[in-house]
């Protein structure tokens, strides 16, 4: 299917929609999920018109994976989580709701479950403090 350039992450990449950004380079962008399943829930996206992992330029995918690794370490440190999860959904049947390839980074703690997927908008001031904690770890 053709890439829909009106999806919200494409608008964030073009600067047409706001985001709590934590990292950006030539190939990728990382920012806070506005409906986090847990504090620190961060998204990493490639700078490529790709809906799923099958559509992305492999070189950009590799660079984006490096960003997932770097930002994952920073999220884990910023939220003092013993583990973290990386999730990536392809197609609506898999639960994908935004049609631009993205990787979820979510801190994990023993016995602490996630909130529902993409349901509850976070407080923006709190999201900014979370973003700042991650930026501090990356600096």
> How many angstroms from the chain centroid is the CA of residue 69?
12
Q: Is 39 in the site for ligand 5GP (CB under 6 A)?
A: no
By beta-carbon proximity to ligand 5GP, the closer residue of 53 and 59 is: 53
x/- map, 77-106, ligand 5GP, by CB under 6 A: ------------x-----xxxx--------
- 9 within 8 A of 96, measured Cβ to Cβ: no
Stretch of 26-34, 51-59, 61-69, 72-80 contacting ligand 5GP, by CB under 6 A:
26-34
d(CA 10, CA 137): 26
d(CA 24, CA 34): 18
- 117 catalytic per annotation: no
d(CA 45, CA 19): 12
Task: Name the residues annotated as catalytic.
Answer: 102
Can you give the binding site for ligand 5GP, defined by CB under 6 A?
Answer: 8, 19, 31-35, 89, 95-98, 118
């Amino acid at each position: 299917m053709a890439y829909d350039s009106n999806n919200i992450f494409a608008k964030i990449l073009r600067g047409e929609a706001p985001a709590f950004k934590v990292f950006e380079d030539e190939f990728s962008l990382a920012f806070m999920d506005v409906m986090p399943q847990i504090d620190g829930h961060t998204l990493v996206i490639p700078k490529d018109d790709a809906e799923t992992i099958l559509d992305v330029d492999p070189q950009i995918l590799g660079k984006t994976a490096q960003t997932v690794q770097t930002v994952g370490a920073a999220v884990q440190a910023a939220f003092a989580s013993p583990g973290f999860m990386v999730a990536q959904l392809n197609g609506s049947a898999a639960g994908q709701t935004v049609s631009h390839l993205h990787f979820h980074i979510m801190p994990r703690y023993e016995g602490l479950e996630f909130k529902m997927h993409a349901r509850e908008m976070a407080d923006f001031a709190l999201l900014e403090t979370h973003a700042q904690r991650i930026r501090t770890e990356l600096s």
